Amino acid sequence: MYCTRKLTDSITWVGGNDRRLALFENLFPIPRGVSYNSYLIVDEKTALIDTADASITRQFLENIAHTLDGRGLDYLIVNHMEPDHCANIEELLLRYPDLKIVGNTKTISMIGQFYDLDAAGRSIVVKENDTLSLGAHTLRFYFAPMVHWPEVMMTYEESEQLLFSADAFGTFGAVNGNLFNDEVNFERDWLPDARRYYSNIVGKYGVQVQSALKKVAGLPLRMICPLHGLVWRSDLDVLLDKYAHWSKYEPEEQAVAIFFGSMYGDTENAVNVLAAGLADAGVKNIAVYDISSTHVSVLISEIFRCSHLVLAAPTYNGGVYPAMLNLLHDMKALSVQNRTVALIENGSWASTCAKQMRAALEEMKQMQILDTTVTLKSTLKEDSAAALEALRESILASLGQ
């Protein structure tokens, strides 16, 4: 049975949800599931904006058939060739033999990589700023390479002023009937997953995101329609502001996030003392994470949110505690920059963790590493407590408190 929602009289959401998938890209936990968004425009010509993941093929095809109501499908616009959005291309070509695939040169090449079909005779290759008329609706194409694949483009519908933005502006989470941002409490229920999606999926490509934002900055926009998550039809400035901060690697908040690894609880004890001391000084909403039990995608998301970071870990096999090493690796891979960082190390002998963490951070851009480093020798003692107090004061001074 079909399950669709109208965006406008002529444009319908024909996507679906997967609440059974545990790991997005087999990497990122998605306890709230994920949506696969696809949009169908019915005019003198009909056009489908992207397909969906194989997990929802049956629902997706039923949605299309219902919305077309006996009509054929003229065009398939392929904004993005990642398999969670292109899995149904072959099926659609079988069901709608007159269908033309619309994409750029890289799109058509990738179709040949994923599928054993020759799209050349059934495709329309578009260039930057080309248009396609459907009748009353006109589609204009803007390329967005490396947001977050090289073939990505965005499609703008001129008459109703909708931007089909591919993976940009997407978020983890299945849509629970409420497809539109003004039907939910975004700040409370969706922002953490939107941030986690951006920082881990698109975070490396801030420069490219900035370029894409500039292309659409002057467009009149009524809706932003991504391939995952909510459709935005109000408060677009809120979403665009988040992307401006994230893509420039500017922290969303003046806030402190503390990330610790602790084998027997002693490093954690020092972190708790530091957090309490910061709270006594008036710092609010401090976040503390055990990096051994928190997925790294959550840690990266919090790093994109917060201005100040504390990294605390023991020396392990003469190196950095493995969970912290993994976090540092992801920070570099995702181009984290413009943060203030404090370091705490622990070692019962030959402690070298802080030196190695500092070296890793120095490979990143514009990271201010506070001079005060706390070294614990097994547990927090009077001498290291004094250093911890000095670190607290250094963090407070950097926060302006």
Residues 295-315 have pLDDT tens digits of: 999 999 999 999 999 999 999
Q: What is the pLDDT of residue 208?
A: 95
Q: Cα angle at 318 between 317 and 323, to 5 degrees?
A: 60
Contact 177, 157 (CB under 8 A): no
Contact 90, 111 (CB under 8 A): no
Share of the chain above pLDDT 90, in %: 97
The overall pTM is greater than 0.75 = yes
Whether residue 249 is predicted with pLDDT greater than 90 in this model: the reply is yes
25: left (phi over 0), alpha (psi -120 to 50) or beta: left
The dihedrals phi and psi of 193, each to the nearest 5 degrees, come to -75, -30
Cis peptide before 148, with omega less than 30 degrees from 0? yes
Measure CA 207 to chain center: 15
CA distance 194 to 171: 4
Contact 252, 305 (CB under 8 A): yes
CA distance 100 to 92: 10
Give me the CATH topology for the region 253-399.
Rossmann fold (3.40.50)
Pinpoint the residues of the chain covered by CATH 3.40.50.360: 253-399
Contact 299, 260 (CB under 8 A): no
What does the pLDDT look like over 354-395, one tens digit per residue?
A: 999 999 999 999 999 999 999 999 999 998 999 999 999 999
For residues 120 and 71, which has the higher predicted lDDT (pLDDT)?
Answer: 71
- Token pair, residue 160, equals 């109703």
Q: In 10 A of CB 306, how many CB atoms?
A: 22
Whether residue 28 is predicted with pLDDT greater than 80 in this model: the reply is yes
Q: What is the pLDDT of residue 363?
A: 97
Beta strands at 253-260 and 306-316: parallel, antiparallel or unpaired: parallel
Q: Cα angle at 132 between 129 and 135, to 5 degrees?
A: 140
Q: What is the pLDDT of residue 118?
A: 77
Pinpoint the residues of the chain covered by CATH 3.60.15.10: 5-248
For residues 358 and 117, which has the higher predicted lDDT (pLDDT)?
Answer: 358
Q: What is the pLDDT of residue 121?
A: 83
Please state the length of the chain. Answer: 401
Of all helices (H) and strands (E), which one includes residue 296? helix 296-305
Overall average pLDDT of the 50-71 stretch: 98
**What CATH number matches the domain at 5-248, 3.60.15.10, 3.90.70.10, 3.30.70.270, 3.30.1280.10?**
3.60.15.10
What does the pLDDT look like over 212-246, one tens digit per residue?
A: 999 988 899 999 999 999 999 999 999 999 999 99
Whether residue 190 is predicted with pLDDT greater than 90 in this model: the reply is yes
Q: What is the pLDDT of residue 300?
A: 98
Whether residue 117 is predicted with pLDDT greater than 90 in this model: the reply is no
